[in-house]
Structure 1
Amino acid sequence: MADDYVYRTAITRLEVSDEQRVRLEETIAEWKRGCQIATNLAWNRCHEKSDVQSLAYDTLRERTDLGSQHAILATHQAAQAITGCIERRSRGEQTSKPRFTAPTVKYDSRTLTLFDDETVSLSTTESRIRCPLVLPEDDDGFQWQFLDSERWEVTESTLTADGDDYFLHLGFRRPKTDAQRTTAENGTVLGVDLGVENIAVTSTARFFPGGELNHTLSEFEEARAGLQRTGTRSAHRTIEQASGRQLRRVRDEMHRVSKGIVTEAVRYDCDRIVFEDLTHIRKRTEGAWGHRWAFRQLYQFVEYKAERHGIEVTQVGSAYTSKRCAECGFTSDENRPTREHFECQSCGTEANADYNAAKTVGMRYVRRGQQSSRRTGDGQLALKSGTVTPNGGFTAYPDGFEAEFTDKPQYATAPPSDPV
């Protein structure tokens, strides 16, 4: 099962010759064409991978130069895109038939082979090519923790073109350890809230402003809209090139934020970093189209950075986190009069809305253990001035940490259970 594995992605540039570059360009072009053909055939007819494969595979083999396995992968990509449209439609969102324009192609264990000499073999529309990976000289480069370890195996990966450069998003997976499968909520937790004005806010009151990310996404969206109205082939090529630049800028920003979050968790001696469920994060935050991708990148970056410190990363349900008071547990739409401000209508607590949500997210995870049938949970939430438990216990940090009044719980007993 997918849930039994930990997944990571290591992005690595390829060293390609002029001849190899031509083959990769042809393969990407055929991949996009194959995905589009499969989508056109399956649209409004089916969306399960097996059904789309049965419907479109023979046509792809006849009308494209894709090999047999790449034809299968193209039908699966089409099925995934159609399923995404169906899910958005079920939430009342407008959708249209997917169009495949991104300069990418998917690979799996049958179409990609990673060798010990730091080269990779890739299937193309003609024959396989073998390219060296451009790896960091520093042994601490994050790619090495996957390449040098027998614990990690290569799984589905993506090749992306950016001008004359090619980047391989190598996918790795390994089975989860027993500790990662456990559901006991013990130890110290760092809660994290994600948003638009602030990319992330921690329960220890660390803010990561979203201005740079919002500017990048807004700038690209405006340029893309204008180019799409133009509709020429040149405009579509420009969109693809701009996509690559924009993705790199977003990725760099997510690396910076993820490093800050993990640093915060290490500083406060946390065992777990907890995010709210990312499933419908874009809709909840009212973010731009790229925010969902950015948040998922951030989560993945935090995962692999935290793993080096033995810190687990997980998600909890997102219901009511923006409307629930972290101090008394009272939940109401009126608690959040504006995007930035939180004011509890029951206990009167006032706070930055994102900060309140970060504490609510973290406490929701901590509270699980005390609500379990065995009541084995012994967790606590990390705050700026100390740690707090669900039953109101507060332990201040040693001298040197600045105390904050609103960190201290104002209830004498455990807060009410989460609303259903």
Structure 2
Amino acid sequence: MTLSGERFSSRVGSSLIYENETNEGVADKYLYRTAITRLDVPQSDAVKLHDLIDAWHAGCAIATDYAWGRTTSRRAIQSATYDTIREETGLKSEHAILVCHRVAEALSSLEERRTQGQRVSKPSFRSPTVAYDGRTMTLFEDWQVSLTTLESRAHCDLVLPADSDGFQYRYLADDAWSLTESTLTYRDERFYLHLGFRRLRPEPETPEHETVLGVDLGIEQLAVTSTGRFFSGREFTHEQREAIERQRELQLTGTRSAYRTIGQVRARSQRYGRDYLHRVANGIIEEAMTHDCSAIAFEDLTGIRSRLPNATVVHRWAFRTLLTFVQYRAKTRGLVVETIDPHYTSQRCSRTDCGHTDSDNRLSRDEFRCQSCGYELNADYNAAKNIAIKYVRRGHTSSRRTGVSQCALASGTLSLDGYTDRSVTD
């Protein structure tokens, strides 16, 4: 197995071999995966890793204070802050460089959001995590890792499943996957290593008749597909509201202990939310693969606040995060994920021999009945079908030829070139 990433050096002997990578812009050539593995950490090494996390936070603060409002360049940040980070935090050379890179990535992401009109604020790095690469981590063939700290290296065993079919072995035991930049994190009084892997992206196949899966986003139903699969948002909304209410109660208490607990509640809520959205994203990908889709169409999230006035900040975060998760997974399966203009998708009749558009068609949050043809179905399902149909039509009529010629529905597929819509019985 190999480990590759920026500024990675070669290692030989009993350890696994690491590749060098210096070219930027190669990310599109690769597929990326992460395998989370618990570490068996001796107590003496645990102290070293906790000290390293504290020093990492201090280093990120130094780099951020310099770069905020000034630059997002890795080279500029490293040149200006490297010596100060080394002197004030005790971080080794490689970790000081990784700090500069991590801060540059965060600021670049914020700058992109700012240019899109979103409000941004100066980032703070408080999560108990540290980045590792080929110079700071060595993975041996007996599944032990050697990790750089502020002092001597920490030596820990990976806690892997007894079953050789365990998730981590898909990447550890497959030479097609190379180990890349990884992340150490501490949660629930245990250390975990988020092992990063990559492999060359396979050439996409172009099927003769490509199919699109439409996805509508909402509050009661977090996501609904054009194939009629519903992902409820009730549990997600309930958990997030409970967490927000708990934080408000703690803020009123005002004690130091309460503020520490607020951080724990917020972190737990974020972990739950991301886990829930990961499961929904997996379900959407599964639905696309089951129906032999080559593309997934979401509604454009621009202006989602006006279209869904009842959506909270948490819901809007959930929609953006879910889209990101689906895009990430879709790449590894050769699926295209795009967004389309959602205007009138909730008011338009999805029967292709009708298409009547009227605000009165949507009787309630859940009910849709066409005032022209009488077609009745769930309102979110109707919108999901319209999103898929709109994506197909866009490919037919614009210069952006998508190659998609049909929509995936609960009843089968729908072609816009003379197909009889069986979905009227859905």
- TM (norm. structure 2) is 0.76
Matching of residue 198 in structure 1 with residue 225 in structure 2: no
The DSSP-based 3-state class of the residue aligned with 1:14 is strand
TM-aligned CA distance change 1:291 to 1:376, over 3 Å:
closer
Match of 2:407 in 1: 381
The DSSP-based 3-state class of the residue aligned with 2:99 is helix
Return the alpha-carbon distance in structure 1 between the equivalents of residues 141 and 387 of structure 2.
Answer: 43
Tell me which amino acid in the other structure corresponds to 1:318.
I
Per-residue CA deviations over 1:62-102 (Å, capped at 9, x if unaligned) read 21122222212212222233333334433444332212221
TM-aligned CA distance change 1:140 to 1:129, over 3 Å:
same
Match of 1:359 in 2: 385
Per-residue CA deviations over 1:352-380 (Å, capped at 9, x if unaligned) read 44323433443455557656889794643
Residue 276 of structure 1 is aligned with which of 273, 291, 298?
298
Match of 1:3 in 2: 28
Residue 314 of structure 1 is aligned with which of 336, 347, 351?
336
Higher deviation after alignment, 40-49 or 342-351: 342-351
Tell me which amino acid in the other structure corresponds to 1:405.
V
Match of 2:233 in 1: 210
Matching of residue 170 in structure 1 with residue 195 in structure 2: yes
1:35 CA drift (Å): 0.9
Residue 424 of structure 2 is aligned with which of 396, 405, 410?
405
Match of 2:149 in 1: 124
Match of 1:391 in 2: 417
Is the 1:42–1:56 Cα contact (8 Å) retained in structure 2?
no
Question: Within 5 A, what are the aligned runs for 1:232-311?
Answer: 234-235=257-258, 237-254=260-277, 256-258=279-281, 260-265=283-288, 268-272=290-294, 274-276=296-298, 286-289=311-314, 290-291=317-318, 294-295=321-322, 298-299=325-326, 303=330
TM-aligned CA distance change 1:279 to 1:116, over 3 Å:
farther
Is the 2:215–2:299 Cα contact (8 Å) retained in structure 1?
no
Is the 1:159–1:167 Cα contact (8 Å) retained in structure 2?
yes
Return the alpha-carbon distance in structure 1 between the equivalents of residues 295 and 84 of structure 2.
Answer: 47
Matching of residue 161 in structure 1 with residue 180 in structure 2: no
Matching of residue 150 in structure 1 with residue 187 in structure 2: no
Return the alpha-carbon distance in structure 1 between the equivalents of residues 322 and 303 of structure 2.
Answer: 8
Tell me which amino acid in the other structure corresponds to 2:200.
P
Tell me which amino acid in the other structure corresponds to 1:94.
R
Per-residue CA deviations over 1:374-400 (Å, capped at 9, x if unaligned) read 97946432211121113242475xxxx
Is the 2:277–2:318 Cα contact (8 Å) retained in structure 1?
no
Return the alpha-carbon distance in structure 2 between the equivalents of residues 63 and 279 of structure 1.
Answer: 43
Is the 2:212–2:404 Cα contact (8 Å) retained in structure 1?
no
TM-aligned CA distance change 1:183 to 1:331, over 3 Å:
farther
Tell me which amino acid in the other structure corresponds to 1:66.
L
Is the 1:336–1:353 Cα contact (8 Å) retained in structure 2?
no
Match of 2:10 in 1: none
Return the alpha-carbon distance in structure 1 between the equivalents of residues 304 and 155 of structure 2.
Answer: 39
1:186 CA drift (Å): 3.7
The DSSP-based 3-state class of the residue aligned with 2:313 is coil
TM-aligned CA distance change 1:374 to 1:196, over 3 Å:
closer
Return the alpha-carbon distance in structure 2 between the equivalents of residues 281 and 7 of structure 1.
Answer: 31
Q: RMSD over aligned Cα, in angstroms? A: 3.9
1:300 CA drift (Å): 6.9
Return the alpha-carbon distance in structure 2 between the equivalents of residues 257 and 406 of structure 1.
Answer: 27
TM-aligned CA distance change 1:375 to 1:43, over 3 Å:
closer
Return the alpha-carbon distance in structure 2 between the equivalents of residues 140 and 361 of structure 1.
Answer: 38
Return the alpha-carbon distance in structure 1 between the equivalents of residues 371 and 101 of structure 2.
Answer: 50
Return the alpha-carbon distance in structure 2 between the equivalents of residues 271 and 233 of structure 1.
Answer: 53
Is the 1:343–1:349 Cα contact (8 Å) retained in structure 2?
yes
Matching of residue 46 in structure 1 with residue 68 in structure 2: no
Tell me which amino acid in the other structure corresponds to 1:38.
A
Unaligned runs of 5+ in 2: 1-25
Tell me which amino acid in the other structure corresponds to 1:276.
F
Higher deviation after alignment, 48-57 or 220-229: 220-229
Match of 2:86 in 1: 61
Return the alpha-carbon distance in structure 1 between the equivalents of residues 360 and 57 of structure 2.
Answer: 48
Match of 1:112 in 2: 137
TM-aligned CA distance change 1:24 to 1:380, over 3 Å:
same
Tell me which amino acid in the other structure corresponds to 1:200.
A
Return the alpha-carbon distance in structure 2 between the equivalents of residues 98 and 331 of structure 1.
Answer: 48
Is the 2:375–2:424 Cα contact (8 Å) retained in structure 1?
no
Is the 2:395–2:401 Cα contact (8 Å) retained in structure 1?
yes
The DSSP-based 3-state class of the residue aligned with 2:340 is coil
Is the 1:43–1:97 Cα contact (8 Å) retained in structure 2?
yes
Is the 2:298–2:339 Cα contact (8 Å) retained in structure 1?
yes
